[in-house]
Structure 1
């Protein structure tokens, strides 16, 4: 079983923000594979289904970004999954808008949601798909930037990157992380 976690902030006010691209990918996967993500469990909205013959849990933590690890820890403990079965999808300001970067492990890179996941799991050894949201303007506060929405020009790029992230998840399920890295990085 794979646990696929998209990071974001709950409530409608954050829908469509840069910080919520992880949620956008979960919705994309949910739609493509007909896996409703509406059960409240483990401090998340989750959905159970099958992708390419593999059981999956789709999850959107409802703890707010900075405490995402609490939900991830509960999911990992309850389903007794190995770290190799976890895929975390989130925004990255160091990548151009829509660019994907897949990693098998790594540091938090300043992302508070990932910092909390690393703290809760006690390791950096989990797969992640980072989606570029662009670098913040020099005179803008980081929180205001990541909680802001994409421009009209950026919206189709982000929708296409959510499609590519879904395809990358499928590649990881049918092959492995290295194959997804070769194909999508």
Structure 2
């Protein structure tokens, strides 16, 4: 059976729910919901298992807070015996406009503290990640407020459309592979 570790990055706590920085949690939750699963509180993460088309998806939302995501990722990789190539980390990205998604097999953390911590703990940058563009429409010096802020009502239809696309991306990685999926995703300019 093909196995995949789906990691949605975010922060626990009601004050962070459905903020831009928590889009990884929201995508993981939407994927699990679509496939009839549910999360339970486990060691260092909320965890769910989903089976689809003969594949097993172990989905985690680390409960270690964003800046310490690496401990949770490493624990579940070891416990479930995943290689880095079997993982997909879903993360917000300020450098991408809201209309974009970017799928990569590895690369720089690009200043994202969650990715930096995973990289530090795993000792590699070579693990797949799906970057969810959140834009950078904030006044100078207000980056933290923007990232930790809620989506604007005008943004929500596009965010929901992109979450649905992210579910398709996860499914496609498991069926046609990472490279072929990248070719269908990285040049998209999404709108509603």
TMscore range, shorter length:
over 0.9
Superposition RMSD in Å = 1.0
Residue 11 of structure 2, aligned match among 9, 14, 17: 9
User: 2:73 — aligned with what?
Assistant: 72
Shift of 1:102: 0.2
Q: Structure 2, unaligned stretches of length 5 or more?
A: 187-192
User: 1:53 — aligned with what?
Assistant: 54
Given the alignment of the two structures, is residue 112 of structure 1 paired with residue 134 of structure 2, yes or no?
Answer: no
Residue 36 of structure 1, aligned match among 15, 35, 38: 38
Distance 2:7 2:99 in 1: 18
Distance 1:51 1:125 in 2: 26
TM-score w.r.t. the length of structure 2 is 0.93
TM-score w.r.t. the length of structure 1 is 0.96
SS in 2 for 1:143: helix
Shift of 1:136: 4.2
Shift of 1:124: 0.5
1:67-101 per-residue CA deviation (whole Å, 9 max, x = no partner) reads 01110010011111111111000100011114110
Q: 1:89 to 1:158 in 2, by over 3 A?
A: same
After TM superposition, which residue ranges in structure 1, 4 or more long, deviate above 4 angstroms?
none
Q: Structure 1, unaligned stretches of length 5 or more?
A: none
SS in 2 for 1:144: helix
SS in 2 for 1:181: helix
Distance 1:81 1:42 in 2: 17
User: 1:165 — aligned with what?
Assistant: 166
